[in-house]
Amino acid sequence: MQDAHRAPRDPLTDVIDELVGQPFVTPAAYEVSRAKIREFADAVGETSPICHDVDAARAAGHRDLVAPPTFAVIPAFRGLYEVMSRVGAPLHQQVHGEQGFTHHRPIVAGDELVTTATLERTRAVAGNHFLTVSAVVADASGAPVTTARSVVVVLGGAS
């Protein structure tokens, strides 16, 4: 007779537990272009001249065009992908629960960004897995530019 109090162990739990604490580094640097910054700024309606006009950005003390604050999602998600591809859950089972960014300096055009992502913790609630992933985005010198934190919910497949 089955033990009614013990649910069968979710195979995803073992996969996820194995990944906790392991750093994953993006295989290639992401090069930030002026065109991509302008394109992203247009997509969120950011009209600040420092996102569009190099002279304005330099006059404001920046090396080149400044990326809008949530542009950091592009390099951050490249790191997140390194973790989530190992979890193996299909995209349509993943829900973005929370997102945070702390900018040590603004991302600017010309940056070559490498992301190190780590699954920090995980909890299972009612068959869904809540994964907290940190992603440290660093420049070519290795200095951190942005620290991102994402909560991804992997929806339970059963039922």
Partner 1 sequence: MSALATPPQTYTVTRADLVRYAGASGDFNPIHYSDRIAAAMGLPGVIAHGMLTMGLAARALSTWAGGPDRVVSFTVRFTSMVVVPDDDAGVALEVSGEVAEPGEDGLVPVSVTVRCGEQVVLGRAVAHVRAA
68 binds partner 1 (CB under 8 A): yes
Which segment (8-16, 21-29, 47-55, 113-121) binds partner 1 by CB under 8 A? 47-55
3-state secondary structure 67-83: CCHHHHHHHHHHHHHHH
98 binds partner 1 (CB under 8 A): yes
29 binds partner 1 (CB under 8 A): no
Which segment (10-18, 48-56, 112-120, 125-133) binds partner 1 by CB under 8 A? 48-56
Which segment (4-12, 97-105, 115-123, 135-143) binds partner 1 by CB under 8 A? 97-105
**How far apart, in Å, are the Cα atoms of 129 and each of 95, 134, 139?**
10, 16, 32
- DSSP per residue, 15-42: HHHHHTT-EEE-SSPEEPPHHHHHHHHH
DSSP class of residue 58 equals H
103 binds partner 1 (CB under 8 A): yes
